[in-house]
Amino acid sequence: MRRKRTLILTVAAVLAAAGTTWIALPASAAAATAAFTKTSDWGSGWQGDVTITNGGSSALTSWKVEFDLPAGATIGSFWDAEMVAAGNHRTFTNRAWNGTVAAGAKVSFGMVGAGGAPVNCLLNGRPCGGGPTAPTVAPTTNTPTVAPTTRPPAPAPTTPAATTAPTTAAPGGNPAPPPASNLLPVTITNNTGRSDAVHLYLLGVNLTTGKLGYVNGAGAFTNWTGGQPTPVPAPDVSIPGPANGASTTIKMPKNLSGRLYMSLGKKLDFRLSTDGLVQPAPWAGADPNKDTLFDWSEFTLNDSGLWLNSSQVDMFAVPHVVTVQGGNGVTSKTGELKAGGRQRVIDRVKAQPGFEKTVYTRADGTVLRVLAPGKAADGGQFSATYLDPYITSAWNAYAGRTLTVVPFGDRPDTKFLGRTSGNVMNFTDTTGRTVASFTKPSTADVWGCDGALGAPNDQVVGPIARTLCAALHRSTLGTLDTQPSGTAADFYKGTLTNHYSRIIHEQMVDGKAYGFAFDDVQNQESLVHDGDPRQAGIVLTPF
């Protein structure tokens, strides 16, 4: 779950469109029309479909849809159409196989974009709605969901790499698991060696109702209320955490997805707006939590089990291990740093040219966090164009040879073949049909796995986008012509690469970390999962 994510916890909201942007007028009922529907919106980007309806009496033999983008808006990936860009104007034309639209029939194409929705639509040179008026926007209905940056329940498996799996212990080495319950015990253990008071926050979305809220220590969920257009302080919903050397157990209700925050020494400052909960964003200069030492783990708990991960997608701050014990008594864990690993991460990031300002130290000398490069760039502490030369080189490599993407480890025969034309990489399936196209991404698109690399939740465009983004982070695109491929030993070899993620992975006992949003490609993520979870744990380790 990149992304230049907003500070609102509703950032990954799925939109069930109640209408369309381009509305066919009654007088045009017999004409061909085009309608744009925004099918999802996650704050920093959106997915949309354009449906062309032939209301005439004869078949269309081809179609061309044109529109303008508002200032700052972009189109990244697209499918089932060809696209030509000229300034803020976009022209989409049919592929060879979908140009004919019989009388009364429909055809669609799709895209992932960012910024405002398209305007001034033309279909074959005439207004998309069939009339002379400017397009209008119909309302949409928001069903907010939490946006774990790492999207724990991945929609499909990716090719595994030859790396160490999360540590597991046999049933004989564990106490018997508690009985199954709709309230999962989560034990937070404080082994930091620090005297700071620990404050816990269990926040997320109720997957049954779609409501955002918070959970108390006993596992009771309460909806947030009282938000204002100008964010106002949220109620103090902190749960007292454990002292050094002690543990605190709280309950996590089933059908919850969100974050478990841990702050040390000071409570976090949350705000409520009419759009939802304003999360801490210490990379923003005015954020009230900038001088607070804190971190979080992300989770989803539903009928398919528990996904729990430590996340470094935005920042690296408080080292912690995540664990889950299943009904079979086996405990899985990951996220453990090597002894002294936190300080080595800090020192090595500081020593990496260009990354010096990504380490933030409080006035009392406490190093609070190392920002991920995308977040540091958002705050002006890192180059906004750092990866551009590498991206251009990697993109251009496939003007003369083919990139093969095999995104599903359990479906090796599902392959997509990519070639670059200009600044667009087009992918065909094994029949030669073009199924997805991606414009060359910016550095920000790569850091966030968003924009030109926006990944819709489908079985074609999204898996290709995830694969491309992971390869660009790891600097293997342009050198490994089958993706995903290689092992962890092949990653981050370029001079221009995600050194932040590289350094964190190097300091993990099992090599696992969530250094960027799609670090789960090739199973590099610090994630534990169990389909029958009985208890979970977070261990704050020494630093």
Catalytic residues, by residue number, are: 298, 314
> H-helix or E-strand containing 506?
helix 499-506
Q: Which residues contact 26 (CB under 8 A, 6 or more apart)?
A: none
Tell me the C-alpha distance between 125 and 114, whole Å: 25
Number of residues in the chain: 543
> 242, 358, 366: which is closest to 292 by C-alpha?
366
> Cα–Cα–Cα angle for 303, 309, 313, nearest 5°?
130
Q: Which residues contact 353 (CB under 8 A, 6 or more apart)?
A: none
Show contacts of 103-106: CB within 8 Å, 24+ apart: 103/54, 103/56, 103/57, 103/58, 103/59, 104/54, 104/55, 105/53, 105/54, 106/51, 106/52, 106/53, 106/54
Task: Please state whether beta strands 198-206 and 239-240 pair in parallel, antiparallel, or not at all (unpaired).
Answer: antiparallel
Q: Check if the beta carbon of residue 501 is closer than 8 Å to that of residue 519.
A: yes
For 501, the token pair is 């993620």
Tell me the C-alpha distance between 320 and 331, whole Å: 16
> 533 in helix, strand or coil?
strand
Q: Which amino acid is at 38?
A: K
Q: Check if the beta carbon of residue 520 is closer than 8 Å to that of residue 163.
A: no
Q: Which amino acid is at 399?
A: A
Provide φ and ψ at 3, rounded to 5°.
160, 130
For 540, the token pair is 């704050």
